[in-house]
Amino acid sequence: MASRGSKVKPAGPAPTAEKPKIAEQPKAKAEPEAKGQVLQQLQSLKLIRERRSIREFTGEKIPDEHIEMILEAARHAPSPENMLMVRFVVIRDDQETKVFLADIAQEMARQAFGGAPFELTSGRLWYISDPYRASQYAKLRDGDLFRYPEKSDTVIIVCASEMWHDAAYQYPNELFGSVVAGMAIMNMWLVATELGYGCGYEALVCSDPRHAELIRDRLGIPPIWAPLTAFCIGKKIRTRELGPSRPPLEGLMYQERWGLPYKRLAFRQEK
């Protein structure tokens, strides 16, 4: 019994039962990210899928710095041995030349689509809904749809050469210039798309050698350089969501050698 005046020490916390140790479970292997998540992170692939051919422009001006950013993308396109067998004539202020190119494009479009049977050409617009297909088809046959160089802020005449080289070995491939030009055009297209502008690849203006010669004379292009196309950049009137679908991978790719169909991941059997 504690004496009067003595202090009683407070009781300490009751001892707790020791928790049983749980055996650590082996960590599961990290699952690879879903394909959809990876695709969302790839801005470049997103731009490739959103890219559309735009043929209706407002005619408004684009800031010079934006055009230069687009041209920088072309400058950084790859080329074998860095020979850069490609050149660009950038047309912004010469409206007469833009109209000249539009006239050529319309003339060639009338030849290509105007005289063809309805059944042959209308099928190209299958992805457009019925209320709008007829009007677009009329523009296609009349060639009015292809006059967009005259409303573009910038028209770039892309030229390639099979003779221009500075490598020790002269590559016997006349397509090198065209391949380099194609990569440069795609670079410009993606940057312009990301900046919110529309682009159109106007192949009709140079499809006839006689017209290509007229363009060469008008712009002073030397004989060893061939004008390939008029790449048009402008502010689009509207955003184009629809576009013709692409075939599946097995419609374009072969596995290991020609003729063996490519098998997509979804259809491969696990080994």
User: What CATH code is carried by the domain that includes residue 137?
Assistant: 3.40.109.10
- Is the pLDDT assigned to residue 184 strictly greater than 50? yes
Q: Is the pLDDT of residue 23 over 60?
A: no
Which stretches does DSSP call E strand in 213-256? Answer: 226-234
| Res. 177: pLDDT tops 50 | yes
Is 68 domain-assigned?
yes
> What pLDDT digit, counting tens, does each position of 118-149 carry?
667 666 776 677 777 777 777 778 888 899 99
What is the total count of domains within the chain?
1
pLDDT score for 15: 56
SS3 (DSSP) at 202 = strand
Q: End-to-end CA distance of the chain: give it in Å, rounded.
A: 82
Express each pLDDT in 58-87 by its tens digit. 999 999 999 999 999 999 999 887 888 899
Distance of CA 136 to the CA centre of its chain: 23
Residue 206 near residue 216 (C-beta atoms within 8 A) = no
What is the reported pLDDT for 29?
Answer: 43
Coil, helix or strand at residue 20:
coil
The alpha carbon dihedral of 123, 128, 132, 138 has a sign of negative
**Residue 8 included in any domain:** no
pLDDT band of residue 9 (cuts 50, 70, 90) is low
Residues 6 or more apart from 263 whose CB is under 8 A from it? Answer: 250, 255
| Position 21 confidence tier, pLDDT thresholds 50, 70, 90 | low
For 90, the domain range is 52-241
Question: pLDDT averaged over the chain?
Answer: 82
Return the pLDDT at 112. Answer: 83
What residues are paired with 200 via a beta bridge?
Answer: 232
Buried b (16+ CB within 10 A) or exposed e, 155-187: bbbbbbbbebbeeeeeeeeeebbbbbbbbbbbb
Q: What is the pLDDT of residue 123?
A: 67
How far is the CA of 2 from the CAs of 5, 13, 118, 213, in angstroms? 8, 21, 114, 120
Task: Tell me how many degrees the CA angle 201-236-78 measures, rounded to the nearest 5.
Answer: 40
The whole-number average pLDDT for the span 192-199 is 95
Within a domain: residue 247? no
Check if the beta carbon of residue 179 is closer than 8 Å to that of residue 158: no
- Give a yes or no: residue 248 inside a domain: no
Q: Give pLDDT, residue 126.
A: 66
Q: Is residue 157 part of a domain?
A: yes
- The answer to whether position 119 is within a domain reads yes
The segment with the largest mean pLDDT, out of 2-11, 107-116, 153-162, is 153-162
Its pTM stands at: 0.78
Residue 56 located in a structural domain? yes
Q: Is residue 77 part of a domain?
A: yes
Q: Residue 24: what pLDDT? A: 54
